[in-house]
Amino acid sequence: MFNFRNEREMIPHPILLEAKQSAANQILITYDQRTDLGSATHISNYWIRSTMETPSGIATVGMSDALMSSNSIRPDMAQITPVDNSNMRFHITFRVNAVPGVLYTVLPCFVNLEGMTGYMGANWGPTSRNVFIGM
């Protein structure tokens, strides 16, 4: 399990502004600042929590699961690509569809600001709109 508290307070980092489903198998995510493209497009820096007891479909963690490297999104599950040249908007495209009616939460970690490295914490905060209902 990761300890995010100290990292959040020390190193400037982008915060996820919004995550919304843009297709049955795709999520559009938007950060508040320009990101380091390498860390932002590293799919294993992302987790999808669902309200299901056991994660399935696009979800990698259930409600009571801790975020660990072993339950992040794997490259065989999805890919993440920039939407434009802003380094702030990305599509996560999954090999399977989201389950309709299930509540999902997008949880990015370790995404650095453009030109920086070394951030090892969470990239969401209290104002992040990172929850959506599968359609």
Q: pLDDT tens string for the chain (135 positions)?
A: 555 555 445 789 999 999 999 999 999 999 999 999 999 999 999 999 999 888 888 999 998 899 999 999 999 999 999 999 999 999 999 999 999 999 999 999 999 999 999 999 999 999 999 999 999
Q: How far is CA 49 from CA 24, 87, 117, in A?
A: 17, 24, 26
> For residues 56 and 127, is the Cβ–Cβ distance under 8 A?
no
Residues 6+ away with beta carbon under 8 Å from 126? none
- pTM of the complete model beyond 0.75: yes
